[in-house]
Chain A
């Protein structure tokens, strides 16, 4: 009898074990609260101060000399849009076609290529910037003295940074297109290029757009590779062979300057940049939802 009741009643030791388990649960919850708290602190600060720093003149005015009041981010915003366009022209065809290549082949070379895109994805952006500096900025400087930095060089760096993301998402989404669709097209006598162009790519459109938008979101805030490629420009510029301003460069320069009004500009720039990234990310989710491969 005594033995049976001691089996039914939790012993002191097992109560302690349960209590310790509960205690560790509280520790884990506390860690989650600390993590989310630190991250909320960043978001809330940026939202409050960035939004209050926003006004119309920020979108319409160019920079003013340091120490003077006023000024806006027009040049940086337009510069960032131009840089993203150049990057897309370079990065998207290679990324998307590379993804199609991965789907079409299964050779030693294509497996090596998959590994190489992983490598490429882990290269720090500042190193990719050095590469663009070496293959664009330095040769230009050697050929035509007086010129060196250019919007094109910045676009090359950002374009290369887009390739791994676009290529991997394209490949993943193409894999989801049912093989039967492809077989049906081939059986009807369509050549392979026609099958890809008219059947597979349209079926995978939403997923490919998601990959593009995520890659754009990733490069829109890149700063380090632009410091010695696009370089920044106090004058308004839309030419690709001249240095160009960019929003992340503005944020960096203004945040590290000693002037209050420039700090406000940096905060406004940060909130504009975050808005761009948020819109791209939400659009990416939305595009994927519209994706219907079945």
Chain B
């Protein structure tokens, strides 16, 4: 695969396939059609940004910067503040990351460094399969199985124990809460982080590990002292990709989080996220209400864009580093 793509980029090939040379009438149409497709992708992106901005202009001029610091969301009074949604999105995604991170990194280490081939194949296949399950199906499982289980085996015992005095735990509510949403998000991003981290670990040259073994390091010392530092930026990139997915994840969270526009640190209380409020309310909204929801969409777009761009850069530079040293 690599040698092929190198051959294609070589200058001789470049000249041979310089596509502006064809003088045939059909080639002119061919070029026009291809350029049209390429430009339409550009137009979709520009159109998306323009439409989101234009659609939220009423809300932007009505609330300005206060939109992001105001925590009251009251459609009947035409008063809109997005703070509970922004905090709810970040808070649930962060907890999802905290829950998923150790398990997915250790699973990636297991798959790449320890598991025999007969075990690695089916496990990897299953993890890829789980990344393909739609959000709404995870939400259904969460509603029917995870949420009752959490209430019975996690929330009730904690609320009766001394841990309940911590600010992140409180009295039991109805079970539609931050904890349930974070758990389902954790299960959903686990396959992503595991797959990206495993790929990065696989890409690290064997010679690096062999050098470490030759110096007398044990397997774990090699992983901790040599492999992981080598893969660090790439793994952080994979983790950020998972975080970006969690931020934009809609249906499963909407079904689990309780949809109350209040932000509390307490994991046992309902919350709301940017994506969920759009999913629940946009179809029926109009006027300033609709504009505020579109501004929330714009906000979500910008946040995921920043997180994903950061992730892509980290993965790109790690891959470049690995290629440079081999």
B37 at the binding interface (Cβ < 8 Å): yes
B275 at the binding interface (Cβ < 8 Å): yes
Whether the pair B218, A20 counts as a contact (CB closer than 8 A) is yes
Whether the pair A124, B41 counts as a contact (CB closer than 8 A) is no
B134 contact from A36, A223, A263, Cβ within 8 A: A223
Of A61-69, A109-117, A234-242, which stretch is located at the interface? A109-117
Whether the pair B137, A221 counts as a contact (CB closer than 8 A) is yes
The interface size bin for chain A is 35 or more
Given A160-B44, A193-B30, answer yes or no on A28-B301 (Cβ-Cβ < 8 Å): no
Given A127-B297, A179-B17, answer yes or no on A193-B187 (Cβ-Cβ < 8 Å): no
A98 at the binding interface (Cβ < 8 Å): yes
Of B62-70, B160-168, B246-254, B262-270, which stretch is located at the interface? B246-254
Whether the pair B48, A131 counts as a contact (CB closer than 8 A) is yes
A251 at the binding interface (Cβ < 8 Å): yes
B210 at the binding interface (Cβ < 8 Å): no
Question: Closest approach, in angstroms, between the C-beta of A109 and any C-beta of chain B?
Answer: 7
Q: Give B295-310 as 1s and 0s: 1 = Cβ < 8 Å from A's Cβ atoms.
A: 0010011001100110
Q: Give B109-152 as 1s and 0s: 1 = Cβ < 8 Å from A's Cβ atoms.
A: 11101110000000100110110111111111101110000000
A-chain residues with CB within 8 Å of residue B29 when the two chains form the complex: 193
B-chain residues with CB within 8 Å of residue A104 when the two chains form the complex: 17, 19, 34
A110 to B132, CA, bound (A): 29
B153 at the binding interface (Cβ < 8 Å): no
Which chain B residue lies CB-closest to A263?
B144
A261 at the binding interface (Cβ < 8 Å): no
Q: Give A15-28 as 1s and 0s: 1 = Cβ < 8 Å from B's Cβ atoms.
A: 00110110011011
A273 to B134, CA, bound (A): 9
Whether the pair A251, B140 counts as a contact (CB closer than 8 A) is yes
A35 to B127, CA, bound (A): 9
B220 contact from A21, A34, A100, Cβ within 8 A: A21
Whether the pair B248, A39 counts as a contact (CB closer than 8 A) is no
- State which residues 186-200 of B face A: CB under 8 Å: 187, 190-191, 194
Question: Closest approach, in angstroms, between the C-beta of A250 and any C-beta of chain B?
Answer: 9
Whether the pair A281, B132 counts as a contact (CB closer than 8 A) is yes
Given A29-B110, A256-B255, answer yes or no on A126-B17 (Cβ-Cβ < 8 Å): no
Which chain B residue lies CB-closest to A100?
B34
Whether the pair B38, A113 counts as a contact (CB closer than 8 A) is yes
Which chain B residue lies CB-closest to A113?
B38
B294 contact from A122, A134, A135, A175, Cβ within 8 A: A134
A277 at the binding interface (Cβ < 8 Å): yes
Which chain A residue lies CB-closest to B35?
A101
A-chain residues with CB within 8 Å of residue B203 when the two chains form the complex: none
A192 at the binding interface (Cβ < 8 Å): yes
B208 at the binding interface (Cβ < 8 Å): no
A133 at the binding interface (Cβ < 8 Å): yes
A167 at the binding interface (Cβ < 8 Å): yes
A93 contact from B37, B224, B301, Cβ within 8 A: B37
